[in-house]
A and B are shown apart, each in its own frame.
Chain A
């Protein structure tokens, strides 16, 4: 199915994905809601890049059919990863936008962005 040799750009991209994932994990382990959301944004980029790499890197022509032709002559880049990544970016953007509004409302109403201080919905603590 995939016969092409790996492109030399693959390794740097993979390392970048690793770095982004590490940064995101560190951010998301924080108790601060804003850091968690920033981590979500960074991790989203790492995941989108991995979809891009999973579609294989090539240096062929863009997958656009010329106006006066029915098909593309010769090898062309895989068009699917772009479509997938675009969709994923849009969805990620929507989710992040909602989450940020929610964090803002949470800050206004609950007076904190620290997740360990948000206990309104939890049962009251037992007095020891």
Chain B
């Protein structure tokens, strides 16, 4: 009766017993996916602190953080888009556009606080109604759509602003960029708040789950009753709103709305999201990794700047590390790929695993 132990029931138990290990490997917002970059960030931080006396000072850390605040806010929004398996190339154009919108509204005499809210709604509308509807409802490719809106909105920015920088005289808007609250610059407060909100939405709402489900397997999500197109419209609205918030910070920091901002924002945000371990295939990753990715890029920029290294080198290093991070991920995946292919074809080996 030795065959009894070979019944399929036993085999499924075996598969289940190895589950904790596998679970750790697949855990979506897991530390494992951005741990390497986090360690690299800490090492970089320590090295810079020891070798560059001007690095670990209150002024410089504030400078570092406010310097990445725009990238931070946009990247958090971008994370939701990437989690659904997309990317938004138009965030830079949206940022510039909302800046112009903001300057026009302020110059109409509308109070700064109201304009600020209008500006974020405007960004969300642009993202949701243009990108979101075309991608989510009509089903066009995210790449084509956001490439199109990037170019198109860029043109709108130039037309609307007459390619001129407009000064914005609003104490509220300027406060967003420059003022301090409890001794800490407002952009840093915005960073903290936006991360907390993003974390909450990602982890603690049905919407957050929908984002993972849509990115993990859009078909399965749709067949389970999840409104996939609505979810997609929402993530593009979110990233649009984030770009507008970043636009307001930008205007506040320089006191003017320029049509020339945001040029390489989309690619930098994508780099930060990728560095943070979110899979470009969707369904895996999360905003905490993105925060690490942004800090890494910011620290590298700031540190190399202090060390007197050309900013072009900083670009080279960012590029190399980005590809290295993906390469490491691929190597890890290919190790896991044998395991993954095992999982994907469970009916084949699992019964054999008894």
* Mutual binders A and B: no
The residues of B with any CB-CB pair to A shorter than 8 Å are none
The residues of A with any CB-CB pair to B shorter than 8 Å are none
